[in-house]
Amino acid sequence: MVGIVGYGVYLPRLRLSRAAIFASHGWFNPGLKALAKGERTLAYWDEDAITLGVEAGRAALAGRDRAALDGIAFASVSAPFQERQNSGVIAKALSLPRRLASLDLGGSTRAGASALLRLLQGNGTQLLIAADQRKARPGSTQELLYGDGAAAFVLGDDKPLVTLLGAASFSEDFIDHYRGQGEDFDYGWEERWIRDEGYGRLIPEAVAAALKAAGVKAETITQFILPCAFPGLNATLAKKLGIKPEAVIDTLHAECGDTGSAHALLLLAGALESAKPGDTILLCCFGNGADALLLRVEQANAAYNPARGLKAALGRKRTENNYAKLLAFNDLLPRETGIRSEGDRQTALTVLHRKADMLTSLIGGKCRICGTAQFPKTRICVNPNCDAIDSQDEHPFAETPAGVLSWSADWLTYTPEPPQHYGMVTFAEGGRLMTDFTDVDPGGVEVGMAMRMVFRIKDIDRQRGFRRYFWKAAPA
């Protein structure tokens, strides 16, 4: 039986204080104060739904044979490309086999949960990633409620951690919010209508159908998951459905905010970290209808240790009180960036395709004669004592630990958050790379510092709307 066999979570390290948001907008909308508690995740300037998804995917695939995958599905309502398969970019960054099927899903923040249900009802070994980095109008309630993040699941039939007992789906064009073509921001409808007629009607209907299909009673559910921005609604619905109060899972509003398509999967990953074999999890998701999945925790979950689960993702953080960074990183604040930021950033798509292994997958070479690893791969071995020609096999560097050999913090080169940190890193298995650093603070870099490679935005061609990605070094 197909089930979840692995999972991973990624949250950006920056946590923006909601009090900082309210401090800028409270004069205009005092009602925001009720939401100005805790923190929300903030993607760095070089992060988007694709890069968030890559990190979650790496965590879910840790220690797993990637060549065994049959397909990848990517769910997002903030995918960077409308006409370029976003899942294809992720697959290449993760060095997945070319023969696998790839699929993009969107249209509703329910896309992640709906995709999980479909894959659990299918076959083969699949990778599901859900990620979002949504923009919100400054001063809106969404600005305080939203967060950025990603979750990934590997599904297969080899010692599943969780299996599907039963499920129900309802499709209904109930519009709680929408975003039209070419619009940057959602338009939300009246909250009481959404709460009472949306969640209050559709979720109980889906749950009742799922319980009937699985032959499970509501009082036996050990964990109840429902991503929801309305305080207390989860507990209210649980009581209405006959679910024990202690089964209600916290929505993590105070810790990270609502991560969109990823949030249902992110909460499920967190639930699995504490779940015991035999537990029954009810996962619900609302959005243009509703999904309800009844999941049974299997014995294999007791021994599973995720490479990066929800607890670790929440623990890796730096509190940010500068609200202007949210605006700047999301292109919501016009700024004078100086003459050094100017220039044509057109990407040669032919070169990107021909050098995709090097640029997107971070594949270098390793000499089969002397064993020297190098990046990039070249026809001649860089070892002066070897100089062999055409002796290099492909060698992946993305998952190889690295260390800082030399570095610089440049205040003259343009970067969205100065100074720009870059330098030479050496890989544990040999090889060096001059690259940008990310997720570092001024004064926080040292020679010998342990680093790991991360897939990030290199730059954006704003004339043509193209994003160029590459690998950067970040503190390990």
Tell whether 318 and 432 lie within a shared domain.
Answer: no
Q: Which residue among 304, 329, 354 closes a domain?
A: 329
Give the CATH number of the domain where residue 95 resides. 3.40.47.10
Tell whether 129 and 171 lie within a shared domain.
Answer: yes
Tokens of 257: 């905010």
Separation CA 267–CA 41 (nearest Å): 15
Give the CATH number of the domain where residue 421 resides. 2.40.50
Tell whether 165 and 229 lie within a shared domain.
Answer: yes
Tell whether 231 and 274 lie within a shared domain.
Answer: yes
154 belongs to a structural domain: yes
Separation CA 282–CA 300 (nearest Å): 19
SS3 92: helix
Separation CA 329–CA 333 (nearest Å): 9
Q: What's the pLDDT at 365?
A: 96
Tell whether 216 and 258 lie within a shared domain.
Answer: yes
Binning pLDDT at 50, 70 and 90, where does residue 264 land? Answer: very high
Instruction: Look up residue 344 and give its amino acid.
Output: D
382 belongs to a structural domain: no
Q: What's the pLDDT at 346?
A: 82
Q: Is the pLDDT of residue 465 over 90?
A: no
Tell whether 272 and 350 lie within a shared domain.
Answer: no
Instruction: Name residues whose C-beta falls within 8 Å of residue 97's C-beta, 6 or more positions apart in sequence.
Output: 66, 67, 69
Separation CA 160–CA 422 (nearest Å): 42
Summarised one tens digit per residue, pLDDT across range 274-284 is 999 999 999 99
Q: What's the pLDDT at 341?
A: 73
82 belongs to a structural domain: yes
Q: What's the pLDDT at 343?
A: 77
Q: What's the pLDDT at 463?
A: 86
Averaged pLDDT of the chain = 95
Binning pLDDT at 50, 70 and 90, where does residue 342 land? Answer: confident
Mean pLDDT confidence for 263-269: 98
Tokens of 136: 């919100």
* Least reliable range by pLDDT among 80-89, 110-119, 216-225, 342-351: 342-351
**Which residue bears the tokens 């205040």?**
411
Separation CA 226–CA 237 (nearest Å): 10
* Cβ 75 vs Cβ 105: under 8 Å: yes
In angstroms, what CA-CA distances link 195 with 21, 63, 201?
Answer: 25, 42, 9
Tell whether 324 and 436 lie within a shared domain.
Answer: no
* Cβ 332 vs Cβ 24: under 8 Å: no
Mean pLDDT confidence for 196-200: 94
Tell whether 311 and 348 lie within a shared domain.
Answer: no
Separation CA 272–CA 286 (nearest Å): 21
Q: What's the pLDDT at 24?
A: 94
Strand 223-225 and strand 280-286: pairing?
parallel
Summarised one tens digit per residue, pLDDT across range 142-172 is 999 999 999 999 999 999 999 999 999 999 9
Binning pLDDT at 50, 70 and 90, where does residue 288 land? Answer: very high
Tell whether 401 and 306 lie within a shared domain.
Answer: no
Task: Name the residue among 183, 190, 119, 211 with its Cα closest to residue 157.
Answer: 119
Tell whether 121 and 203 lie within a shared domain.
Answer: yes
- The number of folded domains in the chain is 2
Instruction: Give the domain range for residue 410.
Output: 339-362+397-475
Q: Which residue among 310, 329, 348 closes a domain?
A: 329
Separation CA 462–CA 476 (nearest Å): 31
Q: Which residue among 269, 304, 329 closes a domain?
A: 329
Tell whether 296 and 412 lie within a shared domain.
Answer: no
Binning pLDDT at 50, 70 and 90, where does residue 354 land? Answer: very high
> What is the share, in percent, of the chain residues with pLDDT greater than 70?
100
Tell whether 228 and 352 lie within a shared domain.
Answer: no
Q: What's the pLDDT at 334?
A: 82
26 belongs to a structural domain: yes
Q: What's the pLDDT at 355?
A: 94
Q: Is the pLDDT of residue 258 over 80?
A: yes
205 belongs to a structural domain: yes
Residue 373 backbone phi and psi in degrees, to 5: -95, 145
